[in-house]
């Protein structure tokens, strides 16, 4: 059986953190790195939990040791037990040799337990024992071995809620969240979007030996206003794709962006499913800096906003949206292309 987990000796990762929220996360990570305390990192998928875990490892005195990441949600119970604790030859069918588990493999370093909220009650009991006693027993063995690993855990579920629902043990919860950090979704820290775009444009341009790929102001606005349900991972993938498709010296237009980039509802309740129609008192202009924008930019932004809301109101229906705006369908199509939006044929 092969090791499914990853043993690495990572360099300290580059983390873009312009927003106050993200700087707080990094401050806490730096302080946590000075201790041996178990850390719990909560956040939606793609927000950077593993990146922060690696940062903690790289800033800690365990930095020269291994960093081992294991996704607890990716295994059946018995495979996870063998993955984490190791097994002895003959412990079960297929256990043809002794095998060290993650806790032993990461001796002197850090174990990253990803998706700890996905573990079964039986596994939670075992993890509690490891965290309390700092000892592991390989599956099929009775010999206890001392564990010299620091634990950083992550979850995209709300662990406190899982505790209330009795699907996550309260005692393990408190053992895990000695230090706890929550990384907000990207849509709650829009200040990070532009620097992330710039960072990844440069990164992927370098990786692909391309130069001078820039976003038009309109394309940039679409990216900044997107809700990014997949958070930084999704943004990173979008920029990678843009750079892959664009020759050097391109200015990217909205129509060159992925079709599924939706617009964040202006005024931004992230959970809002429906966007209200604009009324006279609520300014539709949301992102352009008023003291710098040209008349055309402001007009574009206002138009995009009105079209997005109206389209939303008619559930994306092209004919109804065009009728209600008293424009032809082809004019509406041109606007949608211009602003990187999409509607639905009826
Ligand atoms: N603040 C950030 N700066 C730069 N890259 C980031 C940042 N946050 C996340 N990423 C990148 O986004 C992707 C997802 O991050 P990851 O740590 O795996 O998220 P999670 O573990 O929360 O799902 C990775 O490629 C990571 O390098
Ligand atoms: Mg992850």
Identify the pLDDT of residue 283.
37
Nearest-ligand number for the alpha carbon of 41: 1
| Residue/partner pairs of 243-246 with CB below 8 Å, 24 or more apart | 243/201, 243/204, 243/205, 243/208, 243/210, 243/213, 244/204, 244/208, 246/210, 246/213
Determine if ligand 1 sits within 6 Å of the CB of residue 16. Answer: yes
* Domain 190-262 in CATH 3.30.70.260: no
Identify the pLDDT of residue 1.
43
Q: Where are the domains of the chain?
A: 6-184, 190-262, 266-346
Q: Which CATH class is domain 266-346?
A: mainly alpha
Identify the pLDDT of residue 292.
63
Identify the pLDDT of residue 4.
64
Identify the pLDDT of residue 204.
96
* Domain 6-184 in CATH 3.40.50.300: yes
Identify the pLDDT of residue 263.
53
Q: Which of 233, 237, 239 to mutate to test the pocket of ligand 1 (most atoms within 8 A of CB)?
A: 233
Mean pLDDT by 10 residues, the chain (346 residues): 70 95 97 97 97 97 96 90 93 85 96 96 96 95 95 96 96 97 96 97 95 94 93 96 93 89 49 38 42 70 83 87 89 83 79
Determine if ligand 1 sits within 6 Å of the CB of residue 46. Answer: yes
Nearest-ligand number for the alpha carbon of 71: 2
The CA 3 to ligand 2 mean position distance, Å, reads 18
pTM: 0.76
Identify the pLDDT of residue 262.
55
């Amino acid at each position: 059986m092969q090791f499914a987990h990853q043993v690495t000796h990572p360099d300290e990762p580059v983390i873009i953190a312009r927003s106050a929220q993200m700087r707080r996360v990094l401050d806490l990570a730096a302080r946590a790195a000075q201790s041996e305390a178990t850390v719990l990192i909560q956040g939606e998928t793609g927000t950077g939990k593993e990146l922060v875990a690696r940062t903690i490892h790289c800033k800690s005195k365990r930095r020269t040791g291994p960093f081992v990441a294991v996704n607890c949600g990716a295994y059946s119970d018995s495979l996870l037990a063998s993955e984490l604790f190791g097994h002895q030859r003959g412990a079960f069918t297929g256990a043809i040799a002794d095998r060290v588990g993650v806790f032993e493999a990461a001796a002197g370093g850090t174990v990253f337990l990803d998706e700890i909220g996905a573990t079964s009650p039986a596994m939670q009991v075992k993890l509690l024992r490891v965290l309390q006693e700092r000892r592991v027993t390989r599956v099929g063995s009775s010999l206890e071995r001392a564990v010299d690993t620091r634990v950083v855990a992550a979850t995209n579920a709300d662990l406190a809620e899982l505790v209330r629902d009795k699907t996550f043990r309260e005692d393990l919860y408190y053992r895990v969240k000695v230090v706890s950090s929550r990384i907000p979704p990207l849509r709650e820290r829009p200040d990070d979007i532009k620097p992330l775009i710039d960072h990844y444009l440069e990164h992927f341009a370098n990786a692909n030996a391309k130069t001078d790929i820039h976003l038009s102001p309109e394309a940039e606005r679409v990216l900044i206003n997107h809700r990014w349900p997949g958070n930084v991972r999704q943004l990173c993938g979008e920029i990678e794709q843009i750079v892959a498709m664009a020759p050097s010296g391109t200015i990217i237009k909205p129509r060159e962006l992925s079709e599924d980039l939706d617009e964040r509802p202006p005024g931004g309740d992230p959970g809002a499913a429906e966007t209200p129609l604009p009324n006279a008192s609520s300014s539709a202009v949301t992102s352009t800096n008023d003291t710098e924008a040209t008349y055309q930019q402001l007009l574009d932004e206002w138009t995009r906003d009105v079209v997005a809301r109206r389209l939303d109101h008619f559930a994306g229906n092209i004919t109804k949206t065009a009728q209600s705006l008293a424009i032809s369908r082809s004019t509406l199509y041109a606007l949608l292309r211009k602003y990187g939006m999409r509607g639905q044929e009826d």
